[in-house]
Amino acid sequence: MRVAVDTQGGDHAPSALVAGALLASERYRIGLTLLGHPDEIEAELARGWRPNGLDIVAAGHRPVNGSTLRNPESAAAKGAQLVRAGAADALVSAADTAVVLAASLRWLGRIAGAHRPAIAAAVPTPDAYVLVLDVGANVSCQPGHLVEFAMMGRAFASTCMSMERPRIGLLNIGHEESKGNELVQTAHQSLMKHGFPGYAGFAEPYALASGDVDVLVADGFSGNILVKSMETASSMFATGLRTAFTASWRSRLGYLLVRSQVGAVRAKADPGRYGGAVLLGINGVVIVAHSGAGPEAVCSAVRQARDAHAGCMLERMARGLGETPGIRVRHLGDPPGRTQG
């Protein structure tokens, strides 16, 4: 098992990417190919250890504007090329989402039945996890894209998350039938009309905590804001707790009594435990790590890539999509009688 790691992407490149990849190699015995500037990578390796079989592939500077999005020499592009050639089993990158998406589409293509890739993140909830997609790959969507996200989310949840009958919700500002813009209304009507398996209707953000849905579908703009808002709220809550527990000697004593419970909650909400989000619809295992990922988060992303490959994610996704009924959906701006496959 070999994972290609883009050391040029993210806010803490290359140090956090190299350190996290080395952690994963040590803990899980994963082969590594590090992509980036060899001199920078060697400098990071000199601070720690060098696992057997480690490869370094030279790649250009990380893209900084739209003109370099499709640069075949970027680390993300080189990683996708390695996966395509079979020289790596998966790619992990913390580069800009648009860069990873463009590289993946160009060099890996789409799996059968998928037309628009989506980034899916497993969000921790009080009792389990909710798969949220899309969380950033598609800022502008048509209703048919949301329907396809529901198909991919259902396939991934049932085959890769061991959910026998996943419940799918469509993110909206309310659960009432009359609420929402034309985008979600059109997608909702199509899912209802065709009796989409497991579709539970509109869902508000609180569905993540209530356990009403297992898969939450959204356009990339809304989904990205939802996940980042949750991260912000979690950080604010943690800061508030820290302030409260250090306010006096009585509060410090109280903290000693609940320290293990607070630690458990904090650990479950820590993004570093989950590493990254999987890019669904691509004909290859690609994990998009958080741009601010530190070594532990990168390590988790590499482990996630290993698990996706070992669990035959692509084959199971293709099978799941094949078992999902096709739905034709009207595009925004089209007359009511016209539909698109």
pLDDT > 70 fraction of the chain, expressed in percent and rounded: 87
Domain for residue 315, yes or no?
A: no
Question: Has residue 340 got a pLDDT over 90?
Answer: no
How many residues are given for the chain? 341
Q: What is the pLDDT of residue 102?
A: 92
pTM for this prediction: 0.85
Q: Are both 173 and 103 inside the same structural domain?
A: no
pLDDT per residue as tens digits for the range 213-271: 999 999 999 999 998 888 787 778 777 877 888 888 888 888 777 777 776 666 666 65
- Residue 124, both tokens: 């921790």
| Count of domains forming the chain | 2
Q: Are both 224 and 266 inside the same structural domain?
A: yes
Q: How confident is the model at residue 341 (pLDDT cuts 50, 70, 90)?
A: very low
Query: Which of 252, 274, 296 is where one domain is finished?
Result: 274
pLDDT per residue as tens digits for the range 14-67: 999 999 999 999 999 999 999 999 999 999 999 888 988 999 999 976 555 544
Domain for residue 106, yes or no?
A: yes
The CATH number that applies at residue 123 is 3.40.718.10
Domain for residue 336, yes or no?
A: no
In contact, 96 and 63? CB cutoff 8 Å: yes
Range 160-171 average pLDDT? 90
Q: State the Cα–Cα distance between residues 20 and 296, nearest whole angstrom.
A: 6
Q: Are both 256 and 299 inside the same structural domain?
A: no
Q: Are both 105 and 185 inside the same structural domain?
A: no
Q: Are both 235 and 131 inside the same structural domain?
A: yes
State the residue range of the domain holding 248. 118-274
193-221 per-residue burial string, b: 16 or more CB within 10 A, e: under 16: eeebbbbbbbbbbebbeeebbbbbbbbbe
In contact, 321 and 156? CB cutoff 8 Å: no
Q: Are both 29 and 124 inside the same structural domain?
A: no
Q: Are both 269 and 286 inside the same structural domain?
A: no
Q: Are both 207 and 290 inside the same structural domain?
A: no
Q: Are both 87 and 125 inside the same structural domain?
A: no
Q: Are both 127 and 229 inside the same structural domain?
A: yes
Question: Has residue 335 got a pLDDT over 60?
Answer: no
Q: What is the pLDDT of residue 273?
A: 61
Q: Are both 122 and 88 inside the same structural domain?
A: no
Range 135-145 average pLDDT? 91
In contact, 208 and 125? CB cutoff 8 Å: yes
The kind and range of the H/E element at 320 are helix 313-322
Q: What is the pLDDT of residue 245?
A: 81
Q: Are both 107 and 137 inside the same structural domain?
A: no
